């Protein structure tokens, strides 16, 4: 059925990957790389809402969600991008729209840079931005750890790998009246999937934000040179990515369509009924 969500597994380079899928197999593809500390679970409500017209693919990264946690894997933004590239190739997908949210933004953007001609369009929703001067105040707490010796930095980051902090990450900076819209399943489920090995992987990824800064220029250059059709939907109640973060994209994508909604970092939980028609309209106009 077109709107039905299917739950599948696929081998990608020797790694067992879990993914969610909806939509006709011959429809235009919307690729959904997830954020942190989440998984493809974040797209569970979006898939059936768009699966009548488009094929949606939402994989779990290695070491997250229901995918395998191989001992030998490059648990970095580069490593995840290579995995995501292998995922679309394994499924025979040649062109696709990218949905960029949270950590899925630097991962998905790396895939776009590999072969820009594959990207039909992009939807950016509170994605980790490539503009240092437009980051939210909360990023300063992460940056403080970067001056520490490696061992101390990892210990400091490790303090943030807890159920209480996961809850804080999902509630983020939304107004009290929006909090009841965010289900505790988000932090309860994803905390239950943490193992000692996965905790170290999370530390690697968060610590990798420092090295990721050197990649910002390449990301901005890609946007400037290839100007993919872009829809920006943003929840400004976000202590990592406030309103100024969304507007920063307009420096390199002046033709992008920007919608500022009354929500926060996890718009698909709080503002799904607003996001869906914006995406449908954008895809109808862009892919016709």
As a whole number, mean pLDDT of residues 78-83 equals 98
DSSP 42: G
**With 0-12 CB in 10 A as exposed, 13-18 as middle and 19+ as buried, what is 93?**
middle
Residue 2, pLDDT above cutoff 80: no
> What are the two backbone dihedrals, phi and then psi, of residue 175, each rounded to the nearest 5 degrees?
-60, 150
Cβ density class 38-63: b for 16+ within 10 Å, e for less: bbbbbbeebbbbbbebbbbbbbbbbb
Instruction: Count CB atoms within 10 A of the CB of residue 264.
Output: 29
Residue 125, pLDDT above cutoff 90: yes
CA nearest to 77, candidates 31, 116, 110: 110
Token pair for 125:
């929703």
Compute the mean pLDDT over every residue in the chain, rounded to the nearest whole number. Answer: 96
Q: State what percent of residues in the chain have pLDDT above 90.
A: 95
Domain count, the chain: 1
Give the pLDDT score at 3: 74
Give the CATH number, domain containing residue 59.
3.40.50.1820
In contact, 243 and 155? CB cutoff 8 Å: no
d(CA 179, CA 242): 17
In contact, 44 and 37? CB cutoff 8 Å: no
Residue 288, pLDDT above cutoff 90: no
- Which run of H or of E encompasses 7? strand 5-12
Token pair for 217:
């220029």
pLDDT in tens, 168-226: 999 999 999 999 999 999 999 999 999 999 999 999 999 999 999 999 999 999 999 99
Instruction: Count CB atoms within 10 A of the CB of residue 73.
Output: 19
Give the pLDDT score at 1: 39
pLDDT in tens, 50-69: 999 999 999 999 999 999 99
d(CA 250, CA 34): 23
CA nearest to 243, candidates 269, 226, 265, 276: 265
pLDDT in tens, 17-61: 999 999 999 999 999 999 999 999 999 999 999 999 999 999 999
As a whole number, mean pLDDT of residues 246-270 equals 98
Residue 191's alpha-carbon distances to 64, 79, 85, 163, 204, in angstroms, are 10, 23, 27, 6, 17
Q: Is the pTM of this model over 0.95?
A: yes
As a whole number, mean pLDDT of residues 146-164 equals 94
Domain range for residue 149?
5-286
């Amino acid at each position: 059925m077109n709107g039905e969500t299917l739950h599948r597994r696929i081998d990608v380079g020797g790694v067992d990957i879990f993914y969610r899928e909806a939509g006709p197999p011959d429809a235009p593809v919307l690729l959904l790389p997830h954020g942190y500390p989440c998984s493809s679970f974040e797209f569970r409500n979006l898939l059936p809402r768009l699966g009548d017209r488009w094929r949606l693919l939402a994989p779990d990264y290695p070491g997250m969600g229901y995918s395998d946690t191989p001992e030998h894997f490059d648990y970095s933004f580069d490593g995840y991008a290579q995995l995501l590239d292998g995922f679309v190739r394994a499924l025979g997908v040649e062109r696709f729209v990218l949905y960029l949210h949270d950590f899925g933004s630097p991962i998905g953007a790396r895939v776009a840079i590999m072969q820009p001609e594959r990207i039909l369009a992009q939807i950016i929703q509170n994605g980790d931005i490539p503009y240092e001067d437009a980051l939210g105040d909360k990023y300063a707490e992460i940056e403080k750890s970067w001056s520490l010796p490696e061992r101390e930095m990892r210990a400091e980051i490790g303090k943030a790998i807890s159920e209480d902090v996961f809850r804080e990450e999902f509630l983020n900076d939304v107004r009290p009246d929006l909090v009841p819209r965010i289900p505790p399943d988000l932090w309860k489920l994803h905390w239950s999937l943490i193992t000692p090995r996965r905790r170290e992987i999370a530390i690697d990824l968060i610590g990798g934000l420092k090295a990721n800064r050197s990649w910002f220029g390449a990301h901005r250059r890609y946007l400037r040179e290839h100007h993919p059709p872009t829809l920006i939907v943003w929840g400004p109640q976000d202590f990592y990515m406030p309103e100024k973060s969304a507007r920063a994209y307009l420096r390199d994508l002046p033709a992008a369509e920007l919608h500022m909604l009354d929500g926060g970092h996890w718009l698909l939980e709080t503002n799904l009924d607003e996001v869906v028609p914006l995406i449908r309209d954008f895809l109808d106009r862009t892919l016709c």
